[in-house]
A and B are shown apart, each in its own frame.
Chain A
């Protein structure tokens, strides 16, 4: 399959390891991964903060860069960005764009997947041959859970990883408090929500807190390093791309 990687703005800039792992994993599974160089951002921050007109150029940019007919599927290691492509681009295109843009948005949206969806639903694999000998707890991020309904897919992938010690996260489906600009506009409430999440992560005794969204991990990780916790964050893609000879360090380099 020819699979286009959407690295997302934050992922590209701050968390390249998630995209590197995604690209390596899919290549190893025999697919042809391409990176459309004109890509930037899905525009979710603008839509969620109320600036829809400012999201229009980003929606256009996405449709243009991923619209290539030779691309079979688009993958992003970010549930919330895929959620934005799937649920928000259409709103922006209808309100501010042309009919042609609406059509392009529909086409591109239909082949955009979050990593666990692509692996399980499209490529039909749950055992990707990964090896990760650590205690890991999994945080299902809100947008993957409720906008995309990825359900058990990430856990099925994790359970198939060799030597992994999966610890169940208490109150896993509670929001970590990130919510994009919510974390800044309502910083104190967001921090209080984060405190609950971190306490639950700590209770699992895991070495790694894993999720499919770098921005939520940035939030959880930012709180954990501030508290000098020993637990580190790691993206789902990094665990799935770990093989016996190359185990992810969990440290962003």
Chain B
């Protein structure tokens, strides 16, 4: 149970409303309605997720100790979260000892303000960025923009999303919903200095972005990054990436500002051994990612000379205080659960309204923001799953997402569950708590045969059941229930005959 009254200001704080991207404007079914109407998007997503899904299965299947790695990854994360305050302090001390500066941000508002102040202090009006979920979550680019500082995403997919005035729809592949002709259009319209004859050959598109980004790497003195891991023992931060843009941002500028969710801590340097096997295989389906960059404080004469870490709470402590939230914080953002999710495959990431889409988003987002009443779009997220369990099987740190979803549904109903649905559920519970009442209910269901008529199926029902019959029939209830048959002469004779066959 949550310790905090949902919807009430309390401590620890939830992620505040009106800043960042943890809350859409529509409920999941409403947003999904729009996304489902976009066949191009659905084709793009299905193709991409199926490709990554198969690659992942191939490379995880070739490790004989994959299950042991998952067990270890999960155990390290559980241990981390159980003693997070202590590990964060150890991390802070290690960063400071190596010449870095640590800032604590209770929420998105504080984090945005801290980063803005740090950038302003450098005098630069531009920053380059390494792909980061945390800065998406707090809406950092938009906040910097509002004070006249221009942020450039340097990950190719992030850049496409940014230039397209769009939002990422996947943790790992933010532009998963775009194809190359759309990307060409975006570059032609939005990228300064692009060749007007650019075609949609992926190599040419990559070359155009490289030219654009090289200039930024060489001229912008401030970089903002996230972190995949923060190591408590040494104060080291790590970023895992594919394109090398991250390494440029982490080494070329004078000032480096890292925004990291407090759950990204791992205790020991040696723990990387586990996570650097789990993460790339689960996320891109590669044995190893092309670039793993690690940095510890500052080194005079080499790399950024000013180094800051902003430790972001934004609802994490509140999540930590709850048994479900604590499990969700184990997530290493590999996105494997998105790529196997049949719901995500149909709707894409935008339907979730949050920086964190897919199965883990459906669990994590309501945890970070709280579910503030019936009309909160985030309160619809725990229901955006058929509970098929594919996410649990895929997760490298064994987060039991279906069970967490069921728990969150329970919490949602506990807080807001009065209405026709609650009445129907109560009625069903009463009807089915005794066989006598159940038999009566079955009789009433038998009336369905009248509705079905001769064709034997029911094709229209009133709302909310019309959601079913809009696309699916329901069989008419049969003449006899099983229990009626069992008691009938016919049923007894059939069983007697079967018994005779057994002994013959």
Contacts and interface: CB of A to CB of B under 8 A. Distances in A.
B432 A16 contact: no
Nearest to A193: B342
A69 interface: no
Chain A interface, >50% SS class: helix
Chain B interface, >50% SS class: helix
B481 A187 contact: no
B338 to A, nearest CB: 15
B101 to A, nearest CB: 45
Given A13-B481, A16-B485, A142-B389, A186 B473 contact: no
Interface stretch (A99-107, A111-119, A161-169, A176-184): A176-184
A87 to B, nearest CB: 8
Interface string A171-202: 00111011111111111111111101000000
Contacts of A188: 29, 32-33, 36
B386 A178 contact: yes
A120 interface: no
Interface stretch (A28-36, A131-139, A150-158): A28-36
Given A7-B482, A54-B425, A142 B502 contact: no
A222 B438 contact: no
Contact residue range for chain B? 35 or more
A40 B438 contact: yes
Contacts of B393: 146
Interface in B323-356: 342-343, 346-347
B432 A41 contact: yes
A45 B429 CA distance: 10
A9 B471 contact: no
Interface in B413-443: 413-414, 417, 421-422, 425-426, 428-430, 432-435, 438, 442
Nearest to A11: B482
Contacts of B47: none
Contacts of B385: 179, 182
A104 B425 CA distance: 25
Nearest to A147: B389
Contacts of A253: 478-479
Contacts, number: 214
A24 interface: yes
Interface string A16-54: 100110011001111001010111110101111111101
B475 A218 contact: yes
Contacts of A127: none
A57 B438 contact: no
Given A40-B438, A218-B475, A185 B36 contact: no
B502 A27 contact: yes
B406 A47 contact: yes
A143 B486 CA distance: 28
A221 interface: yes
B359 to A, nearest CB: 12
Given A39-B435, A40-B434, A57-B433, A186 B32 contact: yes
A14 B429 CA distance: 18
A179 to B, nearest CB: 3
Interface in B370-387: 382-387
B422 to A, nearest CB: 7
A221 B476 CA distance: 12
A183 B485 contact: no
A186 B388 CA distance: 14
B346 A192 contact: yes
A184 B428 contact: no
Contact of B387 (A33, A182, A193): A182
B417 A50 contact: yes
B409 interface: yes
A46 B501 CA distance: 41
A189 B429 contact: no
Contact of A252 (B389, B465, B475): B475
A43 B474 CA distance: 21
B229 to A, nearest CB: 29
Contacts of B472: 183, 191, 194, 219, 222-223, 226
A146 B409 CA distance: 20
Given A192-B36, A226-B459, A46 B386 contact: no
Q: Closest 7 A-B residue pairs measured CB to CB?
A: A179-B386, A187-B467, A222-B472, A50-B409, A57-B433, A50-B413, A175-B388
5 contacts: A35-B486, A50-B413, A54-B429, A146-B389, A196-B342
Given A47-B406, A175-B386, A186-B343, 14 more contacts: A9-B438, A12-B442, A15-B478, A23-B495, A24-B498, A50-B417, A178-B386, A180-B387, A184-B467, A186-B384, A190-B386, A193-B343, A193-B386, A226-B473
